[in-house]
Amino acid sequence: MNDIDLYRYLDLNKKVQIDPEGYLVKQSDWDHSVAALLAADEGLALTEEHWELIRVARDFYTRYEMAPAMRPLVKATKQALGEEKGRSVYLMRLFPGSPPKRLARIAGLPKPTNCL
């Protein structure tokens, strides 16, 4: 089995490759339409609330060169969007399961460290 067999394509044109965990193989492939495809692959329809968090995660990545794990994500969200949205319950509602992992996938970021 070669490396190509490990990946699958997100789009019909076979231009956007994702790894077995659903993360983009090339971060440069990310844009708003790719985010919508990644969200659909996760069973999510993106709302403005989702986009706010995507922007927070991408800003965090730009600043620290890593995708945020849960605690840093909560803190960054609180700083950017206020006390009400900067809570793990809010993140869980929008990105059920593992908010940092799901958010990183859809935001086109690598897997957060310290996330199983």
Q: For residue 12, is pLDDT > 80? A: no
The predicted-structure confidence for 37-72, as pLDDT tens digits, reads as follows: 999 989 999 999 999 999 999 999 999 999 999 999
pLDDT at 3: 52
Alpha-carbon gap, residue 37 to 110, rounded angstroms: 17
Beta bridge partners of 62: none
Annotated catalytic residue, options 88, 91, 115, 116:
115
Which has the closest alpha carbon to 80: 68, 97, 95, 98? 68
Catalytic-residue membership of 115? yes
pLDDT score at 1: 45
Report whether pLDDT(101) > 70. Answer: yes
Are residues 38 and 19 in contact, defined by beta-carbon separation less than 8 angstroms? no
